[in-house]
Structure 1
Amino acid sequence: MSHSHHKEKVCIKTRKVYDWVTRQVDVPLKSFSDRDLESIFPDSKCHRHDKKVCEFFTSHGFNPEDFTIRCFLTDEDGHRIDPVVDNDALICQEIIQPDGRQPVRITLPSGEKVTLQKVKALVKGHVVVQILDANGHVVCESKAIPFATAQTFILCAPEGTMLDCHISFFECDASLVCTDNFSQLDVSITLCLEVQMEADVKIEVEARFCKPREEILEATLCPTDKFPPQCPEVFPAH
């Protein structure tokens, strides 16, 4: 009998997921005062004539409602990236502990006691803040602002497993506060962090070999109806 018609046991190498969790992470608020703003917005139109960020707006007669602020994820050079697609631009790695992953005794909802491991993850990236006028034109753009957060997870992470993590959602909000006494830029970041513990394993499975499917041919491009539809009720009936 052909291999394609019966099942047999085969050994395959694959990546096994030992544990998988997702967590919403609120990165600690980053606040920047006047002196910080001068370095965050380098060589910007915001600083022409030696005016600070808020002074620039007041000197041009702008009210707070005349401009909007947006914030987005970038690489270290300030180029905008998609957090879901371009995870290589983010650092998401395990923080190696001197004594290894510490065991933690956990009681499950069923009452069963299991031993899991404490895993620490470091997430680092950059964001850029843009200030836009009422017409949507970028008036000021910051350099890439770094952010970082460390998270601790309790996972099934025996020795030999590796941490795999990525960002499934990213949101950045920024607000500029301008008063008579001070200027301040606040940046808040929220992200969804997916963490998996994985290892390469060899497993035995019962399978059958595949064979090619029948090819689906593309429809011909040549028209089959050479003539447009007629109106026999009108012509040549009468």
Structure 2
Amino acid sequence: MSHRDKEKVCIKTRKVFDWVTRQVDLPVISKSDDHLKDFFKCDGSTIDDICKFLDEQNDPEDFTVVCKIDEESIICQEIIQPDGRLNVTVTLPNGDEVKLQKVKVLVKGQANVAILDENDKVICRSKKPITFVTAQTFILCAPDGTDVECEVTFSECDASLICTNDFKQLDISITLCLDVQVEADVKLEVEARICKPREEDIRGVDICPDQKFPPQCPEVFPAR
């Protein structure tokens, strides 16, 4: 492409001001005693004592407890602060000081627990979804006029049921990977040329008109 083929154009696009990822390990969610009572439903019936039920069925070691996060239930969004994002001054590794903003993000969702037999058949499942929630604080380049976009790119849930003489407890651990971007619509001046479709190698009768674009006005916009 020669320099003569190019011209200055103004485009509107989404600019990323900052972008970070973070692994979040939520505190373990435990259900025991009265909280575990009536937690599971097995074969269509509510179970008062899940440990006793499993013991009566077969060897407890033949059962597997699994946890699955409902991806559709996940909410990841900025927590709007009444006075706006707080400005903070931080020192970079090279010693320079820069003003950034404190951003708070809320992540919320639901998970379900199931018990499988030795053939991986579901015999029990939680009656209601387990709700998890976390609030995370980030220090980002997020000046006024920018939007915070949050996404959970990966989620993992593990569950363990303890049935002993001393404990009857269900423990649930959840790990999330957060992707947080600060974005805003901007207009950029770039040096470019108008694109045209390539020539098709094999084609029949061509009835399609040539692609036409509105005439540009580089003499007045973008301003020199």
Query: What TM-score range do you get, normalising by the shorter chain?
Result: 0.7 to 0.9
Structure 1 residue matching 2:194: 3-state secondary structure = coil
For 2:87 and 2:107, how far apart are their aligned partners in 1?
Answer: 23
Normalised by the length of structure 2, the TM-score is 0.82
1:186 matched to 2:171: yes
Q: Is this contact kept in 2: 1:46–1:56, CA < 8 A?
A: no
Q: CA deviation at 1:39?
A: 4.6
Q: CA deviation at 1:139?
A: 1.0
Normalised by the length of structure 1, the TM-score is 0.78
Name the residue aligned to 1:203: 188
Deviations 1:180-238 (A, max 9, x none): 244111000011101111111111111111111233559xxxxxxxxxxxxxxxxxxxx
Name the residue aligned to 1:235: none
Runs of 4+ residues deviating >6 angstroms = none
Q: Is this contact kept in 2: 1:71–1:128, CA < 8 A?
A: yes
1:45 to 39, 43, 46: 43
1:68 matched to 2:64: yes
For 1:182 and 1:45, how far apart are their aligned partners in 2?
Answer: 24
For 2:48 and 2:103, how far apart are their aligned partners in 1?
Answer: 47
Higher strand share: 2
Q: Does 146-155 or 179-188 show the bigger shift?
A: 179-188
Name the residue aligned to 2:124: 140
1:117 matched to 2:101: yes
For 2:144 and 2:104, how far apart are their aligned partners in 1?
Answer: 14
Summarize the alignment of residues 88-99 of structure 1 with structure 2, pairs less than 5 Å apart: 89-99=73-83
Q: Is this contact kept in 2: 1:20–1:197, CA < 8 A?
A: yes
1:172 matched to 2:157: yes
Q: CA deviation at 1:44?
A: 3.0
Q: How many residues align?
A: 199
Structure 2 residue matching 1:28: 3-state secondary structure = coil
For 2:43 and 2:162, how far apart are their aligned partners in 1?
Answer: 18
Structure 2 residue matching 1:214: 3-state secondary structure = coil
Higher helix share: 1
* Structure 2 residue runs without a partner (length 5+): 204-224
Q: Is this contact kept in 2: 1:157–1:197, CA < 8 A?
A: yes
For 2:99 and 2:165, how far apart are their aligned partners in 1?
Answer: 57
Q: CA deviation at 1:32?
A: 0.6
Summarize the alignment of residues 7-86 of structure 1 with structure 2, pairs less than 5 Å apart: 7-41=6-40, 43-45=41-43, 51-63=48-60, 65-74=61-70, 81=71
Q: Percent identity among equivalent residues?
A: 60
Q: Is this contact kept in 1: 2:78–2:150, CA < 8 A?
A: no
Q: CA deviation at 1:38?
A: 3.5
* Structure 1 residue runs without a partner (length 5+): 75-80, 219-238
Q: CA deviation at 1:126?
A: 0.8
Q: Is this contact kept in 2: 1:46–1:53, CA < 8 A?
A: no
Q: Is this contact kept in 1: 2:114–2:122, CA < 8 A?
A: yes
Q: Is this contact kept in 2: 1:173–1:188, CA < 8 A?
A: yes
For 1:47 and 1:175, how far apart are their aligned partners in 2?
Answer: 22
For 1:45 and 1:38, how far apart are their aligned partners in 2?
Answer: 16
- Change over 3 Å in CA distance of 1:117–1:100 after alignment to 2: same
For 1:208 and 1:127, how far apart are their aligned partners in 2?
Answer: 51
Higher CA-based Rg:
1
Structure 2 residue matching 1:184: 3-state secondary structure = strand
Q: CA deviation at 1:168?
A: 1.6
